Chains A and B, each alone.
Chain A
């Protein structure tokens, strides 16, 4: 679609958040001329230890960086992807080169930043996303959203894109263009995902990217395979009351003393479910809340759930990835809704069983129609478990 100003000039809606660019504007770009000192100390202050499987991937990434070979890390949810990046980033920094970790989601930037700050205590890290407006600086290590990459031109020797399969990066031509231009011609790219998209797998086939696969979680356990349950009648009836079979499933989880994440497809449904659950469960000491992208108390509620101050959290897909809750079990209501892509379903199932002490758990897909996305997501999880 093309959009015009009254003067008849076209303007771009894709990057309008960064300031409107219209026909006749000058865009000036220069390759970055920053120079960083080589250092003996690579800046890595992280003391943890990688599992042998993680170590293998980490070593391969370092080798590929030296040989400038782009890589796709396909690691299951809960494999410990962030830790596998530390050595790669450290190698880049020690050579006096510039690195960037980009991800489509603001929440993931907020989650990654403190972890890298702790792992590279002496390095100044630039953090950029749309809710924290500032002009990009010249930090040697940058963590930002993929949208912010539009502000960089041939700036990085290493570009890591985390959660590369997620909205809005996936299938977005502008963001792919930005990611392409942000790296130097001599730079290396690394893509991280639990559910690789077809275009990346095509590139692997062509040989332009090397595939590194990690099929085990860091604790060595298998991924929980989702259970499916068919519902004939609607989840909420005309009187806004919950399906009794669904209520039974929810009760079972609560009685098992596991914290429960319930995914619903639309924000508007959250208050309705909260109300009917409160009416029907009749458990006074049970604490429930709902959270969605526009919720001003979103961070507080997620934190309360993490600390087990809440027993049940109703959420939209915002909590599908990048978050860890101990011992959590998951129920997806209307897993057949178009909003759940295969990648979303795999990611949601990946919230369960992430802790060493409790590597199993329940993932339940509730559906009316058995969709292709449900089928392929379960197939993918089974394949990764082989």
Chain B
């Protein structure tokens, strides 16, 4: 019996044969099957750029606008889940309340996918210093740091407001607030390598585009994509 991190009810984790016979260490489940079911996977037809689920078509409206702004240079984003009420509640508890242990729930949602990816550099989207001071942890770093080797290349300027508190128009107008941390030691290979930028939620794409542009300036030949748990 284990206690679910979300509903605090006791549950028996499901047992699968494969992990018993394999030598790989498997991760222990932290939430019950009822809570897990509330997170809706992205299935069916989706935008070939940002992974937004759509009834039909190849490119979503958001990405059509990005196409105008960045001709032939639209960011390719990978996402796994719908941003629904369950996910919203989880993010409120994790980010606003600062419930650090909930990173394990987020890890559970994306672990299987991420360990199979093959990029040369994984760059987390940074938290502003003010938020980090208040929460005493970096929300993105905490989630992905245990799964992947991270290269914290990006930094955020102080005094930038959180995206979550703005509406869509305000978000889209947000100015660039990232800069490259020159203290990080880099291999020559980054100039032509594959980079994956990691964030939690893709809403308008503004944050990830800024992050990409910032990296692009220093590494014009690198192949840059992004990942968010939610779209």
- A6 contacts chain B at the CB level, 8 A cutoff: yes
By beta carbon, the residue of chain B nearest A13 is B99
Question: Which one of B37, B85, B98, B142 has the highest number of Cβ atoms from chain A below 10 Å of its Cβ?
Answer: B98
Which residues on the B side are within 8 Å of A16 (C-beta)? 93, 97-99
Q: Is the CB of A268 within 8 A of B37?
A: yes
- A1 contacts chain B at the CB level, 8 A cutoff: yes
Which residues on the B side are within 8 Å of A22 (C-beta)? 136
Which residues on the A side are within 8 Å of B137 (C-beta)? 5-6
- B39 contacts chain A at the CB level, 8 A cutoff: no
Q: Is the CB of B100 within 8 A of A17?
A: no
By beta carbon, the residue of chain A nearest B142 is A6
Q: Is the CB of B34 within 8 A of A20?
A: no
Which residues on the B side are within 8 Å of A1 (C-beta)? 3
Q: How far is the CB of B141 from chain A (nearest CB, A)?
A: 9
Interface set, chain B 94-139, CB cutoff 8 A to A = 97-101, 136-137
Which residues on the A side are within 8 Å of B3 (C-beta)? 1
Complex-state Cα separation, A13 to B100, whole angstroms = 10
Q: Is the CB of A6 within 8 A of B34?
A: no
- A33 contacts chain B at the CB level, 8 A cutoff: no
Q: Is the CB of B97 within 8 A of A5?
A: no
Known: A266-B34, A268-B37. A6 touches B100 (CB 8 A): yes
- Which of B37, B85, B93, B100 makes the CB contact (< 8 A) with A11? B100
Q: Is the CB of A294 within 8 A of B85?
A: yes
Q: Is the CB of A20 within 8 A of B101?
A: no
Q: Is the CB of B142 within 8 A of A20?
A: no
Complex-state Cα separation, A16 to B8, whole angstroms = 14
Q: Is the CB of B34 within 8 A of A5?
A: no
Question: What count of chain A residues pass the 8 Å CB interface test?
Answer: 16
Complex-state Cα separation, A134 to B126, whole angstroms = 31
Which residues on the B side are within 8 Å of A6 (C-beta)? 100, 136-137, 142
- A36 contacts chain B at the CB level, 8 A cutoff: no
Complex-state Cα separation, A221 to B100, whole angstroms = 53
- A256 contacts chain B at the CB level, 8 A cutoff: no
Interface set, chain A 1-28, CB cutoff 8 A to B = 1, 3-7, 11, 13, 16-17, 19-20, 22
Complex-state Cα separation, A6 to B3, whole angstroms = 22
Known: A13-B101, A17-B97. A5 touches B136 (CB 8 A): yes
Chain A residues near B (Cβ < 8 Å): 1, 3-7, 11, 13, 16-17, 19-20, 22, 266, 268, 294
Q: List the 6 closest A-B pairs by CB distance, nearest first.
A: A3-B101, A20-B98, A6-B137, A16-B97, A5-B136, A5-B100
- A5-B136, A6-B136, A16-B99 are known contacts; what are 17 more A-B pairs with Cβ within 8 Å? A1-B3, A3-B100, A3-B101, A4-B100, A5-B100, A5-B137, A6-B100, A6-B137, A11-B98, A11-B100, A16-B93, A16-B97, A19-B97, A20-B97, A20-B98, A22-B136, A268-B37
Supply 29 A–B pairs (Cβ within 8 Å), ascending by A. Answer: A1-B3, A3-B100, A3-B101, A4-B100, A5-B100, A5-B136, A5-B137, A6-B100, A6-B136, A6-B137, A6-B142, A7-B136, A11-B98, A11-B100, A13-B99, A16-B93, A16-B97, A16-B98, A16-B99, A17-B97, A19-B97, A20-B97, A20-B98, A20-B99, A22-B136, A266-B34, A268-B34, A268-B37, A294-B85
